[in-house]
């Protein structure tokens, strides 16, 4: 009767199992690091979103100020026109 050759010795199996345990531990550590980094990135994203919202509010305030300044300039112009129309012109003086 022929005997089959031994392919895997107990030492090989033990070494392979040890390598698998180390690989699993490395994967666990890497997964933990990724989770920590993702948490950091999510916190940074939340801070950036809050900053963008603040900048949008500031932009709205600046636009409102610009509209108010433009309206005020129009009111000054209207007042000047009304004052010019109301002023009596001296017919004896030439127009300048």
Token reading at 75: 């009111």
Two tokens, residue 20: 């698998």
DSSP state, 8?
S
CA–CA gap between residue 56 and residue 45 (Å, rounded): 16
Q: Which of 50, 49, 69 is nearest to 61 (CA)?
A: 69
Q: What angle do CA 67, 79, 89 make, to 5 degrees?
A: 155
pLDDT tens, the chain, 96 aa long: 678 877 778 788 888 899 999 999 999 999 999 999 999 999 999 999 999 999 999 999 999 999 999 999 999 999 999 988 888 777 777 776
Q: What is the model's pLDDT at position 60?
A: 98
3-state secondary structure of 17: helix
């Amino acid at each position: 009767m022929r005997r089959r050759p031994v392919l895997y010795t107990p030492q090989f199996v033990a070494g392979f199992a040890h390598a698998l345990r180390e690989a699993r531990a490395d994967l666990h550590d890497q997964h933990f690091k990724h989770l920590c980094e993702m948490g950091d990135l999510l916190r940074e994203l939340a801070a950036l979103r809050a900053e963008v919202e603040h900048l949008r509010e500031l932009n709205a305030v600046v636009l409102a100020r610009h509209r108010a300044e433009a309206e005020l300039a129009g009111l000054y112009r209207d007042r000047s026109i009304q004052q010019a129309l109301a002023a009596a012109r001296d017919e004896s003086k030439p127009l300048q």
